[in-house]
Amino acid sequence: MRYLAEADSGRALTPLQAAACTYRIAPGPHAGQKVLSLQTVPSLAIDSTQPGCVNAHGFSLHAAVRCGPHQRNQLERLCRYITRPAIANERLKRNRTGQLVLQLKSPWREGTTHIVMSPLQFMQRLAALVPRRRLHLIRFHGVLAPHAKLRAQIVPSVPASVPGTCDHHAQTPAA
């Protein structure tokens, strides 16, 4: 929540993001009310973790996902995965009253499996996903970190003169 505390209070997205984080409705006549959620009996499935993967505090890190330079099929699959949309079309439906029903990938701890909201509330949630300007979305750690001692040995530097370009046109004297 530090992100929201640092946000400029005059920005239009700030109240939308704050409402989305607390599962509340931001615009309209129902502003401040909780979003309707549907619950079922929680499953007893055990969440097994693989080596190199961790789930903590609502975030998941999969460091075991990798592919070699010659594995083009796996590389394409990985690229499709990381560029996927925020919400899968198969999990979003419209009910008879015109509200949107979002089926969650996995049930929450209290058993919520679906979230029901109006189209305006859904757009509010999508707007909350828009990152703040100049916010770095990728963090580098270890050798790739900005001030790592060994970074210069790993990250390629820009060549002094790029081959294939010429600068004699700028230096040509007028005749």
Paired with 94 in beta bridges are 100
User: Where in the chain are the domains?
Assistant: 2-159
In the predicted structure, residue 92 carries a pLDDT above the cut 90: yes
Whats the size of the chain, residue-wise?
A: 175
Kindly report which listed range (5-9, 53-57, 83-87) carries the lowest average pLDDT score: 5-9
Q: What percent of the chain has pLDDT over 70?
A: 74
Q: What pLDDT band is residue 163 in, cutting at 50, 70 and 90?
A: low
- Beta strands of 48-95 (E only): which ranges? 53-56, 59-62, 92-94
Q: What is the DSSP letter of 30?
A: T
pLDDT at 123 over 90: no
> Which of 92, 120, 117 is closest to 104 using CA atoms?
92
At 1, the pLDDT band (50, 70, 90 cuts) reads very low
Encode 80-112: b = buried (16+ Cβ within 10 Å), e = exposed.
eeeeeeeeeeeeeeeeeeeebebeeeebeeeee
State pLDDT tens for residues 72-86: 898 888 888 878 887
Give the helix/strand (H/E) hosting 117: strand 112-117
Q: Per residue in 18-37, pLDDT tens?
A: 777 777 777 778 887 877 77
Q: What is the pLDDT of residue 79?
A: 83
